[in-house]
Amino acid sequence: MSVVLQSNSGWVLDSQSLIDRGYARCITWTGHHKSHVKCNFKRQCFHILKSHYDMSGRVDGGHTVMTQKTEKAAKIRSVILEGTKSLVDSAQSLGYLSGETETSKDPLPSQDCRLAALCEMAKELPLVAEEEQEWTQSLLTEEGGASHVDLFSQVTENSEAWAAVVPLMGEEYIIPHNTAFLLSDFTRIQPLVQCECNEKKKEYSSLPSSQLKRLPVPLLGSPGCLVVTWVTNRPSHLRFVRDELYPHWGVEVVAEWFWVKVTTSGEFVFPLDSPHKKPYEVLVLGRYRQEKCKIFARQTDNRCVFGRTLCVDNHEVLKLYVGAEAKCLELFARSLQPGWTSWGNEVLKFQQIIALPRGRNIW
């Protein structure tokens, strides 16, 4: 369970436990022989051991500067400061955020995603007529083992109840159970629309605003679905999503949550008043063409989502508002999650694995 605790201030999340649970049952093949293998993410991918500033208040070689705040900025600061303290205190009383100092000597691998370059090459291939195109394909054969799949023009599905280690484009990747994905960029998103996913959750990454508006969210989302967008702290980005992008998609903003990042001892990863980098980011939640949901109306618009990890999976929190059986879609994904459909030109970025003496680690 990724939700360590919940209170009126928000949630403390531990994503590593949730992610590793998705790989508890993992299969690999040697020829037609099936065997079990243990896979897990490296712990140092999730643990920030110290803040990115020293006791003098210097941040990454610069200085912390206090700026005059607007009334809204002061309110946000108060919500984050008070909410974080409440959540850290509660987590520490349960034995979490206790200042873990364990480090691994194993270096973190490069995060370069060569498949993104292959997406560019795939764009040069001729399009198949829609009436002749198969929009989905199975990752595994009926006899077991990996199929020869077309990663770039079909949605690939692992419909089995276990994760699978498969060779793709000369490398090994681990694909979670009950997962579907499409490896493509914005120009080749059509298979995702055609496979009739009717998903419930959306996120976006960096694209020009004109292209973001062209994302087929009305075709991908079912009526009343929850739309969640991660936004950086630049005010112009937040205004664009809230006041321009969501109305264009027919989505009504219902809440803004904060994901606060802390160290293993509960400190902000950056000073709260830093003019450069903030220790939090914003999630804008909306409903697609539906009146405000009553369950959101009972909450503050500044609910604090509090994370101890570098990568936070919010599905454990969001399923309270969309239902446990909701179909979920992540746009511009860099990893896969059990039960989700994922799309992007780096969708397998963190699924590549490497064999180590202690087993297999997911990067």
Region of 73 on the Ramachandran plot (φ > 0 left; ψ -120 to 50 alpha; else beta): alpha
Characterize 259-287 residue by residue with b for buried, 16 or more Cβ atoms within 10 angstroms of its Cβ, and e for exposed: bbbbbbbbbbbbbeebeeebbbbbbbbbb
Interval 248-267: pLDDT, tens: 999 999 989 998 988 888 99
Say what the pLDDT of residue 314 is. 63
Q: Which of 266, 259, 262, 263 is nearest to 93 (CA)?
A: 266
Mean pLDDT of the chain: 76
What tokens does 288 get?
């697609």
- At residue 85, what is the residue type? K
Q: How confident is the model at residue 8 (pLDDT cuts 50, 70, 90)?
A: confident
Residue of 160, 150, 227 whose CA lies nearest to 183 = 150
Residue 309 has pLDDT above 50, yes or no: no
Residue 358 has pLDDT above 50, yes or no: no
Please tell me the distance from the alpha carbon of residue 226 to that of residue 109, in angstroms, as a whole number.
35
Place of tokens 């990115």: 52
- 128-187 pLDDT, tens digit per residue, is 666 667 889 999 876 666 667 888 889 999 999 999 988 887 788 999 999 999 998 888
Cα distances (Å, whole numbers) of residue 126 to 129, 152, 156, 186:
9, 12, 20, 16
Residue bearing the bigger pLDDT, 310 or 12: 12
* Residue 99 confidence class, pLDDT cut points 50, 70, 90: confident
With CA atoms as reference, report the closest residue to 208 among 186, 192, 191. Answer: 186
Lowest mean pLDDT among 24-28, 216-220, 290-294: 290-294
What's 245's DSSP letter? Answer: I
Domain parsing of the chain, residue ranges: 2-48+69-99+113-124+134-200+209-344
pLDDT of residue 336 exceeding 70: yes
pLDDT of residue 291: 43
The sheet carrying 39-41 orders its strands as 39-41, 359-362, 353-356
DSSP for 31-88, written as a single string:
TTEEEE--EEE-GGGT---S-SB-TT-EETTEE-------HHHHHHHHHHHHHHHHHH
Answer for the pair 306, 84: CB distance below 8 angstroms, yes or no.
yes
Question: 104 pLDDT exceeds 80?
Answer: no
H helices of 68-197, in order, are 71-93, 114-122, 190-194
Cα–Cα distance measured from residue 119 to residue 348, given in angstroms and rounded to the nearest whole number:
12
SS3 for 310-331 is: CCCCCHHHHHHHHCCCCCEEEE
pLDDT at position 93, please? 93
Q: For residue 305, list its beta bridge partners.
A: 11, 259
- Of residues 127 and 82, more confidence is placed in 82
